[in-house]
Structure 1
Amino acid sequence: MTPDAVIFDIGNVLIEWQPERFYDRVIGAERRAAFFGAIDLHGMNDRIDRGEPFAAVIAEVAAANPDWAKEIRMWQDRWIDMAAPAIDDSVDILRALRRAGVPVFALSNFGIETFQIGREHYPFLEEFDRHYISGHMGVTKPDPRIYEMVEDDCGVTPERLLFTDDRPENIMAASERGWQAHLFDGPVGWARRLVAAGLITRGALA
């Protein structure tokens, strides 16, 4: 069944998101391992992705962990350095879909403030027809509710949506709602899936 709309995750699909790599570079791999072992940083980020205020969450966690306060504050002060670089071939795919007249949506776990930072640094994030950002929605993937909210808003039936994400649990949740889904493991495989679906041609990416 040919999809009527294509939905992109953002982190590790359009923009690399590797906080561990950033901290390895800045404070060294050994100290980074100790830092991530001492504090649930991904849990902290989940709070931001659910819509809690970015600065307030960082300040709270830093105050609770004074030995790591400097490193925790980097999560805010140098966030854009963690969310980098853009995955250029995926951006090309997004633009090829737009040239082909295919509606493209973003569905991403992202904080309210962090998404605004991302938009300022990556203009292609403005090129989506619709944005579904967890911080604004108050719920994160893979909660089934976020997929339901997308369906209700966009008006496309589940079986006509094609979604890519790098997290298996997010893909599984979409599939369980009847969405077509592709586990993102790089732009090449994603492009092949879209060509097979009849949405773009190989020549469109040349």
Structure 2
Amino acid sequence: MTQTVANPIVVFDLGGVLFDWNPDYLFRELIPDAGERAWFLSEVCNPDWNIQQDAGRSLAEATATLSARHPAYAEQIAAFYGRWPETLRGTLVEGMAIFETLEDAGIPLYALTNWSAETFPYAWERYPFMQRFKDVLVSGRELLIKPDPRIYALMLERIRVHHPDAQPAQLIFIDDSLKNADGARACGWHAIHHTDPAETTAQLRAWGLPL
């Protein structure tokens, strides 16, 4: 039987949970051939490259380094960040419903995101709901990325600014990346690998949250 989480504090990942972000939205236009596009996004502007910007590398350095390696795709590489807003399609309705229900119930809400410090302001300025979190920890600003244990420790420190007695067992982390959810569990948090909003809602209810 699942045990109720006492005095829960919920920490949201952003991309894939609350935001609909996908480079494919842009590159469908730039690289119409599906096979070539899949190759480009897995071998050139791939997740391993992108995560380094989330860890603090500058967009200019990332673009220049990769363009030197793949000069035939320099224009497309430049577009990855030059036209980055086109990769962000807004918020995810079901994820936002979870956020708003928890907020209405008075559950303390925080965000912990792997996100470039240079692209994050675009979303921060255009999506006012993010300012309703008690705090948002952005990896690119801290030069740390999930699932490094140090970023979870830093998030807990930041939570304790508002909740001095907060303990890891109170924290519930929702992330669409399994390794990031596992990273939180390894630090003593509760965690949900978010793949289906209905399943996330069911797990939160099982822990006693008012959904």
TM-score, L = length of structure 1: 0.88
Alignment gaps of 5+ in structure 1 = 202-206
Contact 2:146 2:180 in 1 (8 A): yes
Q: 1:81 offset after TM fit, Å?
A: 1.7
> Residues 15-55 of structure 1, C-alpha deviation per residue, up to 9 Å, x if partnerless?
12322354234412122133235425322211110112223
CA distance in 1, matches of 2:31, 2:74: 13
CA distance in 1, matches of 2:133, 2:112: 10
Identity of aligned residues (%): 32
1:179 corresponds to 2:183: no
CA distance in 2, matches of 1:3, 1:164: 17
TM-score, L = length of structure 2: 0.87
**RMSD of aligned C-alpha atoms?**
1.8
The aligned residue for residue 55 of structure 1 is 60
22-31 vs 181-190, which moves further? 22-31
1:5 corresponds to 2:15: no
Residues 1:3 and 1:176: Cα distance change in structure 2 (over 3 Å): farther
The aligned residue for residue 110 of structure 2 is 105
The aligned residue for residue 204 of structure 1 is none
> Residues 59-84 of structure 1, C-alpha deviation per residue, up to 9 Å, x if partnerless?
33224422101111111122122122
The aligned residue for residue 120 of structure 1 is 125
Contact 1:3 1:159 in 2 (8 A): no
The aligned residue for residue 178 of structure 2 is 168
Could you tell me which of 136, 148, 157 is aligned with 1:152? 157
The aligned residue for residue 163 of structure 2 is none
Alignment gaps of 5+ in structure 2 = 161-165
The aligned residue for residue 140 of structure 2 is 135
* AA of the residue aligned to 2:14: I
The aligned residue for residue 44 of structure 1 is 49
Structure 1 ranges of 4+ moved more than 6 A? none
CA distance in 2, matches of 1:36, 1:180: 32
Contact 1:3 1:197 in 2 (8 A): no
